[in-house]
Amino acid sequence: MSKLGFIGLGIMGKPMAMHLANAGHTLFIHTRSAAPAELLTAGAVACGSAQEVASQADIIFLMLPDTPDVAQVLFAPSGVASGLSAGKTVVDMSSISPMETKVFAQKINVLGCDYLDAPVSGGEVGAKAASLTIMVGGSEAAFERVQPLLALMGKNITLVGGNGDGQTCKVANQIIVALNIAAVSEALLFASKAGADPAKVRQALMGGFASSRILEVHGERMIKRTFAPGFRIKLHQKDLGLALQGARELGLALPQTAGAAQLMQVCAANGMAELDHSALVKALELMAHHEVASAP
């Protein structure tokens, strides 16, 4: 069994860490709020700082909201870097800037340690079911060493390339997801406004070429009006911001991505940033003065 660290125990991080603890690994944890009782019951050891986690564990996982959070946890005076010794591995499973990730990796490598960027897709459902898709950037040797642990948290695990490539893959993923949510939103809104039953329209579309996981899961949320967060609008906004920032740096135009980002901004401006990203439909509903379905 390995000595593992896990920093960031929110909606995604807590179930991911639970899978590691339940597999019998010794787990050292740190989070901004109180350590989850379930993890402590499973044998995890609460630490007072990220530095303490890094000094105790051989492999340290991070699951944090944004690029500045990762920078702070890694390089603050009581951060991970100050607790590392040669031979350890840092695995950042957050979704952050690919460019900054390359800088972080270089700083960790200088300390004689490996760095993997390993962002995930699958949301809270995938985190709880250990069915996440995990996109990894880093050396093949480090990946092979950590892959059995990643397999406790996900099913589709791919070494995409070097440091930063995992994050680039995640940004691409978030573009696809956002545009699919927007497409499903427009389709169901159109059907509902035209007088058709959106639930039956969705059921029919699920058997055809328009079928998708977004139509299945988020289409149902739109119809049932269940927008409790699995993945918050504000976090998807952050990811689309990374996409548009990268596009500017690369000289690319991503007009559909920009449109989806604006729809999410409409939601955020109307107090809905904490809702699930399927609530993007509400931006279109505001403009149409019509809801896909009535609240049950």
Among all residues, which ones are annotated catalytic?
A: 170
Phi and psi torsions of 96, nearest 5°: -140, -175
Instruction: Identify the three-state secondary structure at position 120.
Output: strand
Count how many Cα atoms sit within 13 Å of the Cα of residue 77 in the half-sphere of its side chain: 0
**Helix and strand tally (H, E) in the chain?**
13, 9
Among the listed residues 289, 268, 294, 283, the one whose alpha carbon sits nearest the alpha carbon of residue 185: 283
User: Residue 30's beta-bridge partner residues?
Assistant: 7
Instruction: Identify the three-state secondary structure at position 286.
Output: helix
Count how many Cα atoms sit within 13 Å of the Cα of residue 240 in the half-sphere of its side chain: 24
Are 281 and 292 in contact by the 8 Å Cβ rule? The answer is yes
User: Measured between alpha carbons, how far is residue 96 from residues 55, 109, 258 in Å?
Assistant: 24, 19, 18
Burial class of residue 112 (count of CB atoms within 10 Å of its CB; 0-12, 13-18, 19+): exposed
- The interaxial angle of helices 233-250 and 165-193, nearest 10 deg, is 120
Report helix, strand and coil shares of the chain as percent, to nearest 5: 55, 15, 30
